[in-house]
Amino acid sequence: MPRKLTAGRLPMTVAATLALFASTSVAMPAFAGECPSDQVMAGAMEPGATAPEGVTDDVLASIDLSSKGSTWKGNALRFRKLVIQPGGVVPWHSHEARPANILIVEGSITEYRSTCKVPIQHKAGEVTAEFGSLAHWWKNNGSKPAVLYSADILPPMSKDDHAM
C-alpha cells in the first residue's frame, strides 16, 4: 500500500535513508572504482605481473575501421569477454595507443594503476575508462571468477587479436 506524504513531513524511513546518504557521501573520497583524489600521482605504481594467469580472453566481435578514412587505416574496434579466475592476472599493459572501456559484470577485480598510489577495487556494475598515459595490471583477489567485457580500439601495430 503506498504511503501518503504530508507536506513538510517525510516518513521516518525516507528521512533516515537521506540522513545516512548525506553522512556517507561527504566522507567518500572518490566514486566507486576510482583512485581517491589524494592518491593520484604519475608513476605511482611500478609495473606488476607481465604474463596472463588464470584468464580467458574471448574476442566476441571485431570491426575493421579502415573504411572510415586514412586516419583509421589498420585500426579495429574490438569487443571481448574476459574471465579472471580467483588469483588470476591480466598482465601489465599500457593504454597510450589503445583506449578501452571495461564493464565488470560479475565478481570483483583489483586494479594496480600507474597513476594511483593504492590498488583500486572494481565491483560488478562498474565501468572504467582506460586511456592516455595509463598503464596497469589487474588481479582477482576474490573467491569467485570476475567477468569483464572490454571494448577497445586496436591500433595498426597490434597484430595479436588477444593483446591485453
CATH of the domain at 45: 2.60.120.10
Domain that holds residue 118: 37-154
Q: What are phi and psi of 68, to 5 degrees?
A: -85, 0
- Beta-ladder partners of 146: 84
Q: Tell me, yes or no, whether 163 lies in a domain.
A: no
**What's the pLDDT at 161?**
53
* Digit-coded pLDDT (tens) for 33-61: 889 999 999 889 889 889 999 999 999 99
Say which residue, 164 or 104, is predicted with more confidence. 104
Whether 127 maps to a domain, the answer reads yes
pTM of the predicted structure, to 2 decimals: 0.74
Q: Please give the pLDDT value at position 162.
A: 54
Structural domains in the chain (count): 1
Q: Phi/psi at 107 (nearest 5 deg)?
A: 70, -155
pLDDT band at 96 (very low <50, low <70, confident <90, very high): confident
Q: Name beta bridge partners: 111.
A: 120, 138
Split at pLDDT 50, 70, 90, the class of 136 is very high
**Three-class SS of residue 67?**
helix
What is the dihedral sign for C-alpha 24, 29, 30, 36? negative
Q: Give, in order, the Cα–Cα distances in Å from 64 to each of 59, 78, 79, 101, 163.
A: 14, 9, 12, 18, 16
